[in-house]
């Protein structure tokens, strides 16, 4: 599972920024040879879990917390999505990337709502 090592690397750090940086560094090492769509999806879900766990203790309203988690997902998308696309499809990817990013963030927004209780239970 590609998402376990990045989550473990980010677990003991203090700030969300440090956690995301550590998560991305380890994920880059694990995905050096490219990513499949399933692996990218797993990384995205791991990033959602990381974001939820990190912002759960932040004293803010739910919308602000959700926005922080979606920022984490957006950063992970921007960092890793290009590794999924085969070279011959890159021109199509460059045109469609903003729309696909929007779809991923919309799906992640819904996933935050369903994963929040699960992350709280696993603590």
* pLDDT block averages, 10 residues each, the chain of length 123: 86 88 93 91 92 82 87 95 94 96 95 75 59
- What local confidence, expressed as pLDDT, does residue 18 receive? 92
Instruction: State if pTM tops 0.85.
Output: yes
Number of domains in the chain: 1
Query: What pLDDT sits at residue 77?
Result: 96
Please tell me the total number of residues recorded for the chain in this structure: 123
The pLDDT value recorded for residue 55 is 84
Residue 97 domain boundaries: 4-122
Cβ burial 77-95 (10 Å sphere, 16+ → b, else e): bebbbebbbeeeeeeeeee
The pair of structure tokens assigned to 85 is: 């696309």
């Amino acid at each position: 599972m590609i998402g376990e090592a990045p989550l473990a690397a980010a677990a003991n750090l203090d700030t969300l920024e440090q956690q995301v940086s550590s998560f991305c560094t380890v994920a880059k090492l694990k995905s050096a040879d490219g990513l499949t769509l399933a692996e990218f999806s797993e990384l995205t879900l791991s990033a959602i879990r990381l974001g939820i766990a990190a912002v759960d203790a932040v004293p803010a309203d739910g919308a602000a917390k959700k926005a922080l988690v979606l920022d984490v997902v957006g950063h992970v998308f921007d960092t890793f999505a290009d590794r999924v696309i085969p070279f011959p499809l890159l021109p199509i990817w460059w045109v469609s990337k903003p729309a696909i990013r929007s779809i991923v963030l919309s799906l992640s927004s819904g996933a935050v709502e369903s994963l929040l209780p699960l992350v709280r239970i696993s603590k």
